[in-house]
Structures are given as C-alpha cells and as structure tokens.
Amino acid sequence: MKNRKEIFVYIGLIALLLPGLAQAQVNSPTLQNATLPQLVEYALKNKPEIKQALIDEEIGERDINSALSGWLPQITANADLNHTLKQQVSPLTIGGETSYISMGSKNSSNITLQADQKILDAGLIQASKSVKYYRQQYDLNTEKQVINTIVGVSKAYYDILTSQEQLKIVSENINRLEKQFQDAKAQYEVGLVDKTDFQRAQISLSNSKADLRRTEELLKYKYAYLKALIGYDADKDLSLSFNGQEMEQNVLLDTTDILNYQNRVEFRELQTQKQLQQINTNYNKLQFLPSLSGFVNYSWAFNNNDFGNLYDQSYPGSIVGLRLSIPIFQGTKRIQEIKKSQLLEERIDLDLINTKNQINSQYEQAMASYKANLNDWRTAKENVEISEEVYNTIKLQYDEGIKAYLDLMTSETDLRTAQLNYLNTLYSLLSAKLDVQQALGTISLNQ
C-alpha cells in the first residue's frame, strides 16, 4: 500500500507539471552518468505513454464534467420568422349570413427564451454515482503505465550494465591472450615449443576480438532501446552510472511476502469495472421511474402585414411549469437491459476469479524463477573465485614450464566463462526480482 501511495504522489506531481511537459522535453537535459532513479524520473516526465495516460485523465475529467452538466439549467433561445404566401380563410356567420375572412397577418415572428431544469432523471443519477469509479479507472491506467515504465527501464538499465561489464571482461581477456600470444610466439621462434601453441593463442585472440565486436554492436542497440523507452532524444549522448556492489546488495528479496490481490492494478481495474456495471444495472431499473423537469420561458410575438413594420410592436408572454414524463410501456426493452446488465456483472465476477488464478500463477512462476536464479548466482559467484585461483596457479606453472599451453588456455576459457556466467545470472536475478515485485504489486519508484 505504501508503494502505491508513493506512485500516486508522483503521478500527482507529474499531473501538476503536465502543461509544461512538452516544452520540458524540448529543453530536457543530457543524461550523463545517470543512475537508475534518474532514468525512471526522466521516463515518468518524458515517456509518451505516461503523457498520454495523464492526458487521458484530463479527457476523463472533461467527460465527467460534461455528463454532470445536465444538472445545471439548460437555457435555449429560439427565433422564427414567417411570411404567409396564402392566408388561411375561415367562415364567419352573422345573422344567417356567412362571410369569409382571412386569419392572422402575412408576416409573423416569435422569439423565445427558455430555461429547463432537470429534477429527476435516471441518466443524471447514473452519471453522479459513476464519477468516483471513472476517476479510479483513469488513475489505475496511469498507475499501470508507471509500473510498466519502472520495470521496463530497470531491466533495460541492468541489461546495459551487464553488457558493459562483459566488455570489460572480454577486453581483459584480450589483453591476457595478446600477452600469451606474444609469449608463445617468442618461445616458438627460439625453438622451445612448436607453432601450435601460438596458433592456438591466435585463434583464441581472434575469437575474443569477435566477441568484443559483437558485444559493442549489441550495446549500441541496447542504448537506443533505452532512449526510446524513456523518451530520450536519439541524437543525444547517454551514459550510465554503475555500482556493481550496490547491484549485488539489491538482489535479495523477502520471499515470505504474502500475495495480496488488492495490490495488483489489473485486479482493482476489474473491481472498478464491476462497480460501474452495478451502477448501470441500477440505472436500467431507474428507467421505470418518471422523469421530472421544470421550465420557464419568456417570448415575444410580432405580427404585421407590412414586413417593414413587423418588429414595431411586440406581444410578450411568459410560462412557468413542470414537465412529468412517465414511461408506461416500452415493450420489454427495460427488462431485457436489466437482465443483460446482471449477466455482465456475473461475467466480471468470472473475470475476477480468472485474474486471481493468473496472478497466482504469475507469482509462483516469478518466485520459482527468482529462487532458481538466486541459486545460480551464488554458484556462479563461487565459480568465479575458484576459476581465478585455478587460472593464476596454472599461469605460474606454465611460466615455469610445468603445465602445457593447452592447460593454460583451458583455465583461461573457464575463467572467462565463469565471469560471463556470473554477469548473466546477476542480470537474470535482478530481472526475476522485478518480476516478483510486479507480481506482488509492490513496485516502487526506488528500485
């Protein structure tokens, strides 16, 4: 719950800055030696999906205000201008004699100003009760975007740092192999060994240089992906700050946390949807009630056979009253709509059950993956220490002529493999931790 409140506070701060977000992105600073919290903060201010979610909140608020505006007086003005092409003739009988006279004037005009006020209306009652839940929907959508952003940016950040560390390992390996290649070549030239030793060293060196090039090219893509993820200008430079010790300290997770479905955005979205559907059911029941509204108007009537003098004299009038509309029979439409809405409620109940099962399955999978990766990470960490010790020992023995070059190459390959496995397991562990937190619904702004 605390993490969710933290997210909503941050969302509120972003919403206050919404009018200036577009300009802020144009003048956004260049990220150099950026930490993960800085990347997340930048993404929450500049990522298009976050901005769209905040705009959707604003649109939703306008929709709410539009729906509730029906409770306010509705004032209209109407005017008409008529010219009679052929006047109606009516009989008039006086003393047994009938004569025919023309009724009305050739030109007439009416101007009416009327105010209507809804007093009882099923649609407006529904709108008033739905306001709270529609706002919840918009807030939950923004929260979901924030959570996805935090998880996505965190994984991309860890992935880049893993690749950067791989570059260091491969570069160190190339330095060792270059020295080994030069030593093997020198020994071959003086006749101490045959040429297979330095040829093997040359092959290993070429493979390591190819690995370095491959990692460098993939790193360019990963930086481009991270820039797109946080809404960063592709033409601007981006560099990251890395603290390997801090990353290792952040891998542990309390595996005794209890799964609470209320922490999941998806579950609360369905609950909100059910509340709205229940309101819709009540709305359909309210359709049996009459609607009541009041009105008042003031009108001006103008009549004259001479068009030029039409508006010289007005004949005002005013009416105030109530209008009651009773829906007596509409076939079975209202009954069918009530039954349909009740069935939709049942369907949402089944969605809630299904979502619970999915959340539980996701949690179990994420936790199993985390525990497996935690074990792999600890094993890989031990293997690195052992491989370094083995390599240093065999290197000394090779320099003294006790071990063959093949043994040295094998130990060097084992060391490099152990180091790379350690980095890969560290990244997998950090990603698995994020998956567990997302499954639990405990993602926070400070991962």
What token pair was written down for 314?
A: 């007005």
CA-angle at 214, arms to 208 and 220, nearest 5°: 140
Question: For residue 331, is it left (φ>0), alpha (ψ between -120 and 50) or beta?
Answer: left
Residue 74 β-bridge partners: 116
Q: What is the DSSP string of 188-241?
A: HHTTSS-THHHHHHHHHHHHHHHHHHHHHHHHHHHHHHHHHHHT--TTS---B-
Query: Strand, coil or helix: what is 1?
Result: coil
Q: Could you name the CATH architecture of 2-72+121-290+326-440? A: Up-down Bundle (1.20)
Which residue in the block uniquely carries the two structure tokens 């009630």? 289
CB-CB contact of 237 with 30 (8 Å): yes
Per-residue pLDDT of the chain (447 residues; tens, 9 = 90+): 445 555 555 555 444 444 444 444 445 567 888 888 899 999 999 999 999 999 999 999 999 999 999 999 999 999 999 998 887 777 777 777 777 777 778 899 999 999 999 999 999 999 999 999 999 999 999 999 999 999 999 999 999 988 888 888 888 888 888 887 787 777 777 776 667 777 787 888 888 889 889 989 999 999 999 999 999 998 899 988 877 676 777 888 888 889 999 999 999 999 999 999 999 999 999 999 999 999 999 999 999 888 888 898 999 999 999 999 999 988 899 999 999 999 999 999 999 999 999 999 999 999 999 999 999 999 999 999 999 999 899 888 887 878 877 788 888 888 888 988 998 999 999 999 999 999 999 987 555
- From CA 134, how far away is CA 127, in angstroms rounded? 10
Task: Give the distance, in angstroms, between the CA of residue 15 and the centroid of all CA atoms in the same chain.
Answer: 14
**What ranges make up the beta strands (E) of 22-73?**
none
- From CA 327, how far away is CA 284, in angstroms rounded? 13
Query: Strand, coil or helix: what is 442?
Result: coil
